[in-house]
Amino acid sequence: MFLSATVLLAAQALTPAPLFRDPVWDGAADPMLVWNPKRSAWWMLYTQRRAKADEPGVSWCHGTEIGIAESKDGGMEWRYVGTVPLSSPDVGHSFWAPDVIRDRGGMFHMFVSYVPGPASEHRDWGGFRFIFHYRSSDLKTWRFVQRVPLTSDYCIDPSLARRPDGSWRMWFKDEGHGSKTQAVDSRDLRTWKPVEDPGVSKLYGEGPKAFEFKGKKWLIKDPNSGLDVYVSTDWEHWTYQGKILDKPGKRNSDQTIGKHADVVVCDGRATIIYFTHPYGQDFPEKDGVMPLAARHSAIQAAELEVKGGRLVCDRDKPFRIHLTKPRS
């Protein structure tokens, strides 16, 4: 059976699945995207989990750097660039789940989870975890600013958004307080004030991500059962809407729940970038070591839509990712 040229071209135009796999460790997770004006390209920053490392417990999720992949064609093709050169106060460390914003002066700010100590000391999810702040003028060279003062010494997964009054709100997971989603506010990205109740703490979840789309504010987070969705009109009062990416898809490496995600809104379209464990993680350990099939992860992309006032995602719907240069 021969396919017509039109059908072949249409198939070639679809967003690849998976969108990206880390060529070094095969454990890309926690993706976020930022426009790099120096390169005229989109950069994907992600946790470079060491999936190929046969180490006990969750040691392979530690000793990690922040990986970089680059796309110059709007997100269809991604090329591995390397890792982000971040300074560290410890010889052994882990960097997880970055978020990057740009201030009005054009300076980039990275907020990233930091776990002190070598991977061999982290067979489980215990230990201190902080959120570090770095700044850069070019996304290439980063200067440490501070450890962000937060509600405990066990905080991860920062996500920032600018509010109408010009201040910044940062949501994060506080494992020192029941793994609740907490928040702090700042006008200068240095001095932070705790938010008494950010309105999205009742349900467990990690990797919060806040964004604006179709005239509303949205926040998604990962409770390891798909992604929970909240909606707001003012960044303060949130209504829980249910889940997306909680049903397995049909695409390659997408037949399991979607996890820790970023959302990019370009020209009125919203693209969600998330990761999966394609084979799940329900495998028996051997001598305390998970098999590679359980450790491997892949980055995927799908389109978000608003229907009947609800945020929805049909991960199997054919679409072509088209990320454009930000207007501001």
Angle at 131 between CA 128 and CA 136, to 5 degrees: 145
Query: Stretch 296-301: mean pLDDT, rounded?
Result: 98
Quickly state the pLDDT bin for 328 (edges 50, 70, 90): low
Instruction: Give the model's pLDDT for residue 310.
Output: 97
By CB atoms closer than 10 A (0-12, 13-18, 19+), residue 121 is: middle
pLDDT tens figures, 122-137: 999 999 999 999 999 9
Does residue 245 contact residue 313 with C-beta atoms inside 8 Å?
yes
Quickly state the pLDDT bin for 250 (edges 50, 70, 90): very high
Quickly state the pLDDT bin for 275 (edges 50, 70, 90): very high
Does residue 70 contact residue 43 with C-beta atoms inside 8 Å?
yes
Is the pLDDT reported for residue 6 higher than 50?
no
CA distance 228 to 21: 25
Name the DSSP letter for residue 178. Answer: T
Quickly state the pLDDT bin for 8 (edges 50, 70, 90): very low
pLDDT tens figures, 172-201: 999 999 999 999 999 999 999 999 999 999
Which pair of tokens denotes residue 166? 């010009």
Instruction: Give the model's pLDDT for residue 327.
Output: 83
Angle at 111 between CA 230 and CA 328, to 5 degrees: 75
Nearest-CA neighbor of 119 among 65, 64, 67? 64
The radius of gyration computed from the CA coordinates of the chain, to the nearest angstrom, equals 19
The mean pLDDT of the chain is 95
CA distance 297 to 272: 16
pTM: 0.95
Largest Cα–Cα distance in the chain? 65
Give the domains, in start order, of the chain with CATH numbers.
Answer: 17-313 (2.115.10.20)
Quickly state the pLDDT bin for 13 (edges 50, 70, 90): confident
Residues 6+ apart with CB under 8 A from 299: 18, 19, 20, 21, 28, 31, 44, 46, 273, 274, 275
Phi, psi of 20 (to 5 degrees): -160, 145
Which pair of tokens denotes residue 189? 């990205």
Instruction: Give the model's pLDDT for residue 297.
Output: 98
Is the pLDDT reported for residue 11 higher than 90?
no
Nearest-CA neighbor of 199 among 159, 237, 157, 232? 237
For CA atoms 170, 164, 322, 228, the dihedral sign is: positive
